Structure 1
Amino acid sequence: MTRKHETAASAGAARPLRPARLRPRDIVRVGLAGLRARRARTVLSALGIALGIATMVSVIGISASSQAGLLRTLDALGTNLLRVRPADSITGEPARLPSDAAARVRRIGPVGTASATGELDATVRRTDRVPPVETGGILVQAADLDLLRTLDGGTRAGVWLNEGTARYPAVVLGSVAAQRLGIDRTGVQVFIGGRWFTVTGILHPLPLAPEIDRSALIGFPAAQRHLGFDGHPTTLYERSTEESVAAVREVLPRTIDPETPENVAVSNPSDALAARAATAGAFTGLLLGLGAVALLVGAVGIANTMIISVLERRREIGLRRALGATRGQIRTQFLAESLLLSGLGGAAGLAAGSLVTTGYAMLRNWPPVIPEWTLAAAPAATLLVGALAGLYPAARASRLPPTSALTSP
C-alpha cells in the first residue's frame, strides 16, 4: 500500500461515523407505516381525540351561531324602543302615569311614535262556563290605536283595532293569548269582564313586548265604557331615532311627570335581548369542560396505544438501533406516530364539529358561525395533546438497549 493510500485510510479511520439525519418526509413515512400496521387500534385511539375536538368545536360554533342569530333578530327589531312604567312611589302609594302621558311624550322632538296600554281588572275566558279563577295568565289591556305601529308588529289573522272597533266590544288577541284560548281565527267570541267580546284580530309574536303576546287588547273607549277603565295607562311604548335613544331616555321621566319624575321608570326591552346575547354562552364553559375531558380521554388512549406499540416492537427498535439508529431518531419516530395519530383525530373532529354546527344552525335558522380562532386552536390543541401523549412512550423506546431489545420475546 502506498503512503498516499495509508494516509487516506488513517484519515478515514480517524473520522467518526455520523448517522444519517431523517428528513421530514422520512419521519412522516416512518410514522405512517407504524400507524398502518395497527389500523384498528389507530382508528379507536384517534376516535377519542376526534370526539373531544368535535365537542369543543361544535359547542363554540353553536354558541357563536346562537349569538349571531339573536343579534340579527335584535338588529331587525331595532334597539330604539323604550318602555315606561310607574316606579315604586317613595310614599309607598302606587304611582300612576298621567292619562295624557303618550301625548306628552309625542311632543319630544326626536320621538317618532308613542303608544300606551292600560291593564284592566278583568279576566278573559273562552266561555262564561269557565271559572273566573282560570285566567290562563292572560292580561286584559286597553290599547292605543297606533300601538302596533310603535311595536312594529302585525296581525296573523284579522285586523288591528281602528276608530270603529275601539268603541265597541271588539278584542285583538296576542299570539300566546290566542294559543291559550284555543282560538286560531277571527269572528269568535270570548267572555271578558262579564260580557262577550268579538275577536277581530290575532297578532304575530312581539319579541320586544312579550306582555302583549299574553294580552287581550281592546280600545280605550270600549275599556272605559264597558269595563270601568279609569284612563291611566300602565305602560307606555316609545320609539325614536337610534342616535337619540339615550337623550330621550333622560328626559322621559320629567316630561311625563314633571312634579315627581322619580315615579317614572324607563327601560329598554332590547337590553334584555342584548343581555341574552352576551350570556348565551353561560353553559359554554361547562360544555367546553366536557369536551376537554373527552380530549383528555383521547390523550390517555393515544399514550396507551403508543406504550403498547413500544412493547410490541421491541425487536424492531433493537434492530434499528443495531443498524445505527440513534436514540434521538427512535424518539422522533414514536413522537411522529403520536402526532400523526392525534392529527388524524383532530382533523376528523374539526370536520365533524363544523358539520354539527352548520346543521344545527340551519335547523334553527341561525347564521352558521365558527370563530376563526377555533380553526387555529383546534389543530394546536390536537398537536399539543399528541406531543404530551407521545413524550413518555418515545423516551421509553429510545432508552431500550439494542441487545435486550433483540433478545426480547
Structure 2
Amino acid sequence: MRSRTEGRERTGADPRTELVPARLGAADVARVGAAGLRARPLRAVLSALGIAIGIAAMLAVVGISTSSRADLNRTLDRLGTNLLTVEPGSTMFGDAARLPGESVAMVGRIGPVQSVAAVGRVTAHVYRNDHIPAGQTGSIAVVAVQPGLPTAVGSHMHRGVWLNEATSRYPGVVLGAAAARRLDIREPGTRVWLGNQWFGVTGILEPVPLADELDSSAMVGWPAAEQFLSFDGHPTELYVRSAEPSVEAVRTVLASTVNPEAPSEVQVSRPSDALAAQRAADSTLGALLLGLGAVALLVGGIGVANTMVISVLERRPEIGLRRALGATRGQIRLQFLAESLLLSALGGAGGLLLGIGVTTAYATTQDWPTVVPLWAMVGGAGATLLIGATAGLYPAVRASRLSPTEALA
C-alpha cells in the first residue's frame, strides 16, 4: 500500500503542502451576511421591524418615565419639600373642630418656621355676573387669604398682582387657575359678582402643585372678607414653610402649637408626600409598560428566528455548493449567525432612533426635560445583539450540519 508521501512524489506535489480551509476575516463575514439580507430585502425589513418596535417600546417607556420623574424632581426642587399643611380635624363627639384665630401667630413663633399663612373658608359664591342662576356655582370656593400665602405655598401670578396689606381691605379678588377658566376670565380688571356684590379681579394665579385646592378658589383679603362677607376670622387651613432639616421636628409640634388645648383635633400633612407617591406610582406603571416592551422584543426575536430558519430551507442548494467548494461547517455557521446579528442590529438601530424620537416628541408636548438614560440605550443595543445571536444560533447549526450531497439533492 502506497503512502501519501509516495503518491505526492509520483504526482510531483510538494509533500509539505496541505489543503487548509481559508479563514474568513471580519470583513468577509460581514459581506457574506449582508449579501444574504440583500437577497430578500422585504423579508429582512419586516423581521427587523419587529426588533425595532420592541426596542423602541422599551426605550420610550424608560425615556418617558425618566423624563416625567425629572420634571417632577424639577417641580419639587422649585417648590420645595418643606411645606406642611394644618387643617382642623374632628372633636371627640364627631363634630368638626375649629382652628383658633391666633394660630398663625403661634406657629410663627416656632424657630425653624420660615413663613406661615392661613386660608379661611367663606360662606359665599362667585359668579361671572349678577344674572347667573344661584345654583350654577361652578364648584368655586371663596376663601379669605393673607398676604404671605404665595410665599408659603410657592405660587406665582399668571396675570395681575397679589393682594397686599392695602388692597386686602377692599373688595378685590384673586382667582385660581381653574376658577378663572370656569368664569371665562383671562385678564385682571374684570368685575365678578361675589357675595351679592361686585368684586374687582386683581390677578390670576398660576397652578399651585402643592396646594391644588387653591386652583379652584376665589381668594379675597382677610379684612375684606370680615367686612363684606361676614367671615368669622377662623382659619380652615394653615400653610407652614419650615427649614428643610427641621421639617419633621416642626411637624411633630405643630398640632400642640396650633391648638394646645386639643392637639388631637388638628391634622398635619405634607403635600410633597403625595407627589412622592405619584412618582412611585409612575415607576410601577413604567415597570408594567417595560414588561410589555419586553414581550414585543421577544416577538421580534421569534420573527428573526423564523426568518433565519426559512432562509436555511430556501438556500439549501447554496449551502451545498459552498460546502462542495470547501467551506467548512464553522464557516457556514458563521455566515448564518452573521446574517442574524446584522438583521437584529438593523432593527436595534432603528428601534433606538424611534424610541428616542418618541420620547423627545412626547416630552416636548408635555414641557418636560427630555431624558433618555444611557444605560437604557446600551441595554437596548445589548438586548438586540443577544436576541440576534440566540435567534440565529439554531438555524446556523442546522445549516452547518447539511452535507454537500444532501443539500444539493
TM norm structure 2: 0.91
Shift of 1:251: 1.2
Distance 2:198 2:152 in 1: 28
How many residues align? The count is 404
| 2:39 paired with 1:37 | yes
Question: Are the structure 2 counterparts of residues 152 and 289 from structure 1 closer, same or farther at C-alpha, using a change threshold of 3 Å?
Answer: closer
Question: Are the structure 2 counterparts of residues 196 and 14 from structure 1 closer, same or farther at C-alpha, using a change threshold of 3 Å?
Answer: same
Give the secondary structure class of the aligned counterpart of 1:289: helix
Q: Find the counterpart in structure 1 of residue 180 from structure 2.
A: 178
Aligned to 2:364, which of 362, 365, 369? 362
Distance 1:108 1:272 in 2: 25
CA deviation map 1:315-368 (0-9, x unaligned): 111112223333333222211211111111111211221222223323333222
Aligned to 1:82, which of 81, 84, 103? 84
Aligned positions of 1:3-402 closer than 5 A? 6=6, 19-402=21-404
Instruction: For 1:149, give the aligned amino acid.
Output: T
Shift of 1:83: 0.9
Distance 1:388 1:97 in 2: 68
Q: Is the 8 A contact 1:99 1:233 kept in 2?
A: yes
Question: Are the structure 2 counterparts of residues 155 and 92 from structure 1 closer, same or farther at C-alpha, using a change threshold of 3 Å?
Answer: same
Instruction: For 1:122, give the aligned amino acid.
Output: A
In terms of mean alpha carbon deviation, does 320-329 or 137-146 score higher?
320-329
Distance 2:315 2:206 in 1: 70
CA deviation map 1:210-239 (0-9, x unaligned): 111111111222222222222110000111
Shift of 1:46: 1.1
Distance 1:312 1:13 in 2: 41
Q: Is the 8 A contact 1:161 1:219 kept in 2?
A: yes
CA RMSD of aligned residues (A): 2.5
CA deviation map 1:174-210 (0-9, x unaligned): 1211111111223332222222222222222222111
Shift of 1:9: 6.0
Shift of 1:8: 8.3
Percent identity over the alignment?
59
Shift of 1:104: 0.4
Distance 2:28 2:61 in 1: 37
Distance 1:358 1:310 in 2: 40
Shift of 1:137: 1.3
Q: Is the 8 A contact 1:71 1:274 kept in 2?
A: no
In terms of mean alpha carbon deviation, does 17-26 or 292-301 score higher?
17-26
Shift of 1:162: 2.7
Structure 2: unaligned runs, 5 residues or longer:
none
Instruction: For 2:81, give the aligned amino acid.
Output: T
In terms of mean alpha carbon deviation, does 389-398 or 338-347 score higher?
389-398
Distance 1:163 1:329 in 2: 87
Shift of 1:7: 10
Distance 2:376 2:353 in 1: 12
Q: Is the 8 A contact 1:67 1:278 kept in 2?
A: no
Shift of 1:99: 0.6
Structure 1: unaligned runs, 5 residues or longer:
none
TM norm structure 1: 0.91
Give the secondary structure class of the aligned counterpart of 2:159: strand
Distance 1:88 1:336 in 2: 73
